[in-house]
């Protein structure tokens, strides 16, 4: 009877040990499966964009900041971007192998400066391509047409506040575009600009302008 009892106890112990080992093995398999699934999930959620940020391509340095028409925009488009997208600017950017250029839908000399010249001046505050190029080059080319002075002078009261906003902008490239536009406008309208300089070169804006590019500003002013 004692041998039978001892044999029964041994069987119970072996059975209990087997159950424990089976539970341990199952738990290990579940943990391994969860780890593999977690690894796959992390790989699938990582986007090419995030990988590009960690390992930027050399070509990223050559390309300007560009609007992605298929990407989600965190902010609403600016007034200039909206007008350009709807065809409100009668020119388009043509990409060249060496440099870009504008293609006008009609001869620029046949266009009214109101409100096109003001719209292009507002675009000088853009910071993304192609808006930066279109606004800068469009403003310059429009002022080169015959009769530009007669068309631009009546718009000076509305142009000056727009150019001033570019000159006091925190972005140095926006400031430079605004300054170049002011020089181009001064060449076209001549002394007609003098009466408006007091609104443009206030004490606050003048200190900001001089602090950015002192030599260039002293020459332009």
pLDDT score for 7: 54
List pLDDT tens digits, range 50-93: 555 555 555 454 455 555 554 444 567 889 999 999 999 999 99
Question: Does residue 30 form part of some domain?
Answer: no
Q: Which residues contact 119 (CB under 8 A, 6 or more apart)?
A: 80, 83, 88, 89
- 153 DSSP assignment: G
Question: Does residue 188 form part of some domain?
Answer: yes
Q: Answer yes or no: is pLDDT of 1 > 70.
A: no
Question: Does residue 23 form part of some domain?
Answer: no
HSE of 215, CA atoms in CB hemisphere, 13 A = 0
Question: Does residue 37 form part of some domain?
Answer: no
Confidence band, pLDDT 50/70/90 cuts, at residue 45: very low
What 3-state DSSP class applies to 187?
Answer: helix
Residue 86 belongs to what domain range?
78-218
pLDDT score for 124: 96
Question: Does residue 26 form part of some domain?
Answer: no
List pLDDT tens digits, range 134-161: 999 999 999 999 999 999 999 999 999 9
Question: Does residue 187 form part of some domain?
Answer: yes
Question: Does residue 18 form part of some domain?
Answer: no
CB 140 within 8 A of CB 129: no
Question: Does residue 119 form part of some domain?
Answer: yes
List pLDDT tens digits, range 4-43: 445 555 555 555 555 555 555 555 665 556 655 555 554 4
Element (DSSP H or E) covering residue 94: strand 91-94
Domain count, the chain: 1
pTM equals 0.64
């Amino acid at each position: 009877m004692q041998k039978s009892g001892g044999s029964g106890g041994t069987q119970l112990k072996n059975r209990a040990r087997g159950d424990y080992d089976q539970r341990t093995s199952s738990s290990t398999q579940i943990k391994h499966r969860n780890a593999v699934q977690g690894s796959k999930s992390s790989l699938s959620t990582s986007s090419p964009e995030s990988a590009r940020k960690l390992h930027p391509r050399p070509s990223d340095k050559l390309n300007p900041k560009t609007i992605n028409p298929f990407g989600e925009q965190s902010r609403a488009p600016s007034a200039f971007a909206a007008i350009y997208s709807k065809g409100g600017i009668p020119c388009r950017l043509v990409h060249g192998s060496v440099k870009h250029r504008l293609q006008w839908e009609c001869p620029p000399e046949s266009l009214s400066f109101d409100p096109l010249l003001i719209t292009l001046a507002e675009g000088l505050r853009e910071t993304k391509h192609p808006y930066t190029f279109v606004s800068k080059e469009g403003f310059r080319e429009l002022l080169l047409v015959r009769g530009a002075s007669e068309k631009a002078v009546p718009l000076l009261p509305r142009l000056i506040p727009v150019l001033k906003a570019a000159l006091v902008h925190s972005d140095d490239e926006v400031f430079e575009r605004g300054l170049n536009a002011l020089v181009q406008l001064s060449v076209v309208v001549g002394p007609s600009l003098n009466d408006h300089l007091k609104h443009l070169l206030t004490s606050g804006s003048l200190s900001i302008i001089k602090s950015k590019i002192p030599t260039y500003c002293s020459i332009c002013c």
